[in-house]
Copies of this chain bind each other. A is one copy, B any other.
Amino acid sequence: MAVQPTWYFIQVESARYCLVMTELLEANERSQAGRARPDSKQQDEKMQIGVDSFAAQFADAGESANASASKSVRHLVERIEFADQVGLDVFGVGEHHRREFLDSAPAVILAAAAARTQRIRLTSAVTVLSAADPVRVFEEFATLDLLSQGRAEMVVGRGSFTEAFPLFGLQLEDYDSLFAEKLDLLLKLRENEFVHWSGKHRAPLTGQGVYPRPLQNPLPVWLGVGGTPESFARAGTLGLPLMVAIIGGETRRFRPLVEIYREYGRRAGHAPDKLKVGVHALGYVAETTQQAIDDFYPGYAKTVTRIGRERGWPPVTRSHFDAARSKHGALMVGNPEEVAEKILRHSQALGGVSRITFQMDVAESSQARLLRSIELLGTAVAPALREKAEEPLPGPETLNATIHSN
């Protein structure tokens, strides 16, 4: 029942992180010059399709809050199980600490799903690392990795909602230093069994071992980012795969930010195939365009308007929704054919995307509709995508449109 508007939230204070405009323009020029490489390289690989959920609580009429919470979490596990069966690549569970989402302990939910799935990758989306202890987070996801036989991943971010900060006794003014420091520790824990580390926000480690060790080496850690250029630069410098939350506006507008990521990655000496880009989008698929809109819009409008009240956004209107659903808009709502086309268009606009995930709880749909949407993603969107990916790359007109829009 909600979006993850990291992007909007971070914009408020992004001014102090902003790189100079010339740097953005330089990155854009390089992206134009070197376009062939990352695009072709990354389109050769199968793009991963997944679903993200925040474990929204849906109550049926007359149901107690506790009973509906239990049902909602078990329905989520059922969706993950079904996503595995229809061949989706990844399922993500968010982390929030507020009444309407039941995902305050994502590793616990993912572990239940691990016991019922065979192939699908299981990830947080995102772990609010700023407010967590990296030792506990590592322990939990390493355990998940053992349980799932090597299918665990983490997307770590600074968080978009702010309620975790007072809950865990943290100051919003430490928003970035908390994250930088905890990410540093998490990566050290991933790399070494015995860690020496000290920082400002957590007790030092003096060579203790942290267990269990995961099955995968390294356990995949993605950086979840919104619209802050410094976050893209950080992910590139660290050579971490990038998960960009794009939940409004036009997806292609993120191209310069993605190029900052690739450029910082190149400068730090990371191989291009290590610099993967994923997109977390709001989306929903139905048999027809009209059905998708009818299923998605009412819940979307309600949810985003409610969250907007906390954040000072105007109420959602139908014309705003139509714009977001249009050719370059961020919303991935439609029939399988048009959603597959849009995935490819967005991928090309960003210079090649390795993974796209659909957050569909926002529509407050029924379990039956969510399952049907997951089924269509696996049985119709994924095959269409593989087919279309073998068609020739788009001509210069599309490319120029992409570039000049920035």
Contacts and interface: CB of A to CB of B under 8 A. Distances in A.
A284 to B, nearest CB: 25
A162 B278 CA distance: 42
Given A69-B146, A147-B108, A77 B115 contact: yes
Contacts of A208: 163, 166-167
A212 B73 contact: yes
Contact of A108 (B66, B143, B217): B143
Given A112-B112, A115-B112, A140-B105, A209 B147 contact: no
B147 A77 contact: yes
Interface string A175-211: 0000000000000000000000000001111101111
Contacts of A202: 169
A46 interface: no
A108 B167 CA distance: 22
Contact of A213 (B66, B114, B133): B66
A74 B168 contact: no
Interface in A64-78: 65-67, 69-70, 72-74, 77
A101 B211 contact: yes
B98 A211 contact: yes
A73 B147 contact: yes
A54 to B, nearest CB: 12
Contacts of A139: 97, 104-105
A107 B66 CA distance: 19
Contact of A74 (B146, B209, B217): B146
Nearest to A117: B115
A133 B170 CA distance: 14
B111 A66 contact: no
Contacts of A101: 211
A48 to B, nearest CB: 23
Interface string A73-114: 110010000000000000000000111011011011101111
A136 interface: yes
Contacts of A336: none
A98 B163 contact: no
Contacts of A136: 105, 136
A149 interface: yes
A214 interface: yes
A70 B148 CA distance: 8
Contacts of A143: 73, 102, 104-105, 108-109
B212 A102 contact: yes
Contacts of A66: 213-215, 217
Contacts of A167: 135, 205, 208, 210
Contact of A115 (B113, B133, B210, B212): B113
Contacts of A150: 70
B112 A69 contact: no
A35 interface: no
A264 B150 CA distance: 49
A332 interface: no
Contacts of A388: none
16 contacts: A57-B212, A73-B143, A98-B209, A99-B209, A105-B107, A107-B108, A108-B108, A108-B140, A108-B143, A111-B111, A111-B115, A116-B116, A166-B206, A167-B208, A167-B210, A169-B202
Interface of A: 57, 65-67, 69-70, 72-74, 77, 97-99, 101-102, 104-105, 107-109, 111-116, 133, 135-136, 139-140, 143-147, 149-150, 163, 166-170, 202-206, 208-215, 217
